[in-house]
Each structure stands twice: as structure tokens, then as C-alpha cells.
């Protein structure tokens, strides 16, 4: 019998192919692929598209590894023993146009020895200029997926989990307009795997129509500056709070793959505040007070 670890890994590897093929068609440029091996066992494929027509930087990672936790990190992870297996797909897309949102998604399966195994993942949208209909579309896609798998996925819970997870306490802001997030789902592996597969396949329908709609919207240098400023928040979250970043760094992961989520360009301004009544303030009203979109 094929283990859940291998089944999940095969799905995530195939999903990477499907997503990259669609994004290449949208952008008109191909991903660079780097196949790599973990220092213990397994490895992955990192695919990055830089300087494209739509995406300034886009990364789609797949990995499937077996390794051992360092004792000082092991107590932070559920289960017993030091041996673990992990497989997943992780992607971050940073567009050129400030009217096209950055987006993140990841889906993963981890097992710790024979004592613990679970799925985690999610997807969240980070717009620079707020288009409420885009946020509604994005959330509606995940709500539909959750409703089909209600025995393991409650949309209201996963949406709230996302708002709470992608939050920068030192800024008192969410990273964007949210989506869904989940971790440590283990009660029904088969039902959860079915949910994860449908969620993974739903990423393209959730994001592609938004990118296609906004990619040719005219933008100004001031809007580009604001995009770079908000990207700084993305960097802050990924380097300070993101579980995937911490996990990769603590388990001997490939550094270039771990940090592929960071944008090519970002900006930090001193004591900046949006002008009252501006499009920028409209975004801040949402990221400081998360909204129910569907």
C-alpha cells in the first residue's frame, strides 16, 4: 500500500506542474527550475520566474524530504521522536502591476515518526489597491471548496484562522484581505486529503481571473511606490512570523528555496500614513479591521 506521505507528495508534485504551466501561459515566460537534494533524504524542485511580463517574481516550490528534528526545535512540533517526513507545495506570486494582488498558497503533509501526521496549508490574497469584488471572488472560491468538505473544513473557522495567522502584531495589521488557513488537521486523513486536493486545484480559478482582469490596468509611479512600501510588510511577516520559513531554516532546508517568497524589490518609508479619503486609506480600513467578504 502506498503511504499517505507518498500519495500526498505525488499530488503536490503534479499540482506544481499544473500551476506553473498555467502561469507561464499568462506571463509568456518560462520558470527556471532547480532540482535539489536534502542533506538527509529526498529533495525538491524550486521554480522561479523573474522579470516576466506579468510577474516581477513568481516562485512555486515542491519538496518531499525525510529528516530529523534538532532536539531544541523538536518540542515545538506535535508528536514524539526526532524523525519526520514532510512534503508540500508552496507558492508566492509578486506581480509588476500595483493593481494585481500578490498571492500566496501552500499545502503540506507532515508526519512525525509513527505518533503524529497531519495536513496544513491555505491561501491568502494581498492587494495593494482594494477591489472588493476581487476579495469576494477569492473568498467565494474557498467557501465553495470548504462546503464540499464540511466534515473536515469549516469555512468560517478557516477564514478566521487565516485572519489571525497572517497578522503582524507589531503593525496591528493583517497582511492582506485573507483567505483560508489550517494546520494540524489529522482526524480523518482520507477526507482531509480529498479537501486538500480540491483546494490545491482551486488556486488557479481563485487567482487567475483577478490577475487577468487587473494586469493591464494603468498605474502611476506613486502607486508603484505604495506597492513597494506594502511589500515591506510582506517581508516582515515572512521573516518574523511565517511557520514555513522557520520550519525550513530549522530543518536544514535549501535557503534559496525557503526565501524565494521574498519580492525582488520592496521599500520602507519613515512614519508614512495614508492620505484621508485616498485609495491607500481604503486598503488600510480593511487590513486594520478584517471583513467578512462572503
Distance CA 17, CA 32 (A): 13
Distance CA 27, CA 49 (A): 9
> Which triple of cell numbers denotes residue 283?
486598503
What 3-state class would DSSP assign to 87?
A: strand
Helix 189-214 to helix 4-27 angle (10° resolution) is 10
137 has catalytic annotation: no
**Cβ atoms within 10 Å of 229's Cβ, excluding its own:** 16
- Minimal CA–CA distance to 206: which of 108, 105, 293, 71? 105
Distance CA 159, CA 66 (A): 31
Choice among 38, 94, 99, 104 that is catalytic:
104
The catalytic residue positions are 104
Amino acid at each position: 500500500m502506498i503511504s499517505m506521505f507518498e500519495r500526498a507528495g505525488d499530488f503536490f508534485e503534479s499540482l506544481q506542474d499544473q500551476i506553473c504551466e498555467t502561469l507561464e501561459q499568462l506571463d509568456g515566460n518560462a520558470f527556471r527550475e532547480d532540482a535539489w537534494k536534502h542533506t538527509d533524504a529526498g529533495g525538491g524542485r524550486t521554480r522561479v520566474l523573474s522579470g516576466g511580463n506579468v510577474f516581477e517574481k513568481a516562485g512555486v516550490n515542491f519538496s518531499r524530504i525525510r529528516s530529523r528534528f534538532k532536539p531544541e526545535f523538536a518540542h515545538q512540533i506535535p508528536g514524539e521522536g526526532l524523525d519526520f517526513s514532510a512534503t508540500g507545495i508552496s507558492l508566492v506570486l509578486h506581480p509588476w502591476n500595483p493593481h494585481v494582488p500578490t498571492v500566496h498558497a501552500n499545502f503540506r503533509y507532515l508526519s512525525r515518526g509513527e505518533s503524529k501526521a497531519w495536513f496544513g496549508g491555505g491561501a491568502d490574497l494581498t492587494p495593494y489597491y482594494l477591489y472588493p469584488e476581487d476579495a469576494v471572488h477569492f473568498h467565494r472560491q474557498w467557501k465553495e471548496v470548504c462546503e464540499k468538505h464540511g466534515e473536515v473544513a469549516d469555512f468560517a473557522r478557516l477564514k478566521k484562522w487565516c485572519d489571525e495567522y497572517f497578522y503582524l502584531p507589531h503593525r496591528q495589521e493583517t497582511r492582506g484581505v485573507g483567505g483560508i488557513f489550517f494546520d494540524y488537521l489529522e482526524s480523518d486523513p482520507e477526507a482531509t486529503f480529498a479537501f486538500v486536493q480540491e483546494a490545491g486545484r482551486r488556486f488557479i480559478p481563485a487567482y487567475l481571473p483577478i490577475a487577468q482582469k487587473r494586469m493591464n490596468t494603468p498605474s502611476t509611479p506613486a502607486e508603484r511606490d505604495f506597492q513597494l512600501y506594502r511589500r515591506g510588510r510582506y517581508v516582515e511577516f515572512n521573516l518574523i512570523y511565517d511557520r514555513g520559513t522557520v520550519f525550513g531554516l530549522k530543518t536544514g532546508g535549501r535557503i534559496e528555496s525557503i526565501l524565494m517568497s521574498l519580492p525582488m524589490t520592496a521599500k520602507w518609508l519613515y512614519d508614512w500614513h495614508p492620505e484621508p479619503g485616498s485609495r491607500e486609506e481604503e486598503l488600510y480600513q480593511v487590513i486594520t479591521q478584517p471583513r467578512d467578504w462572503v
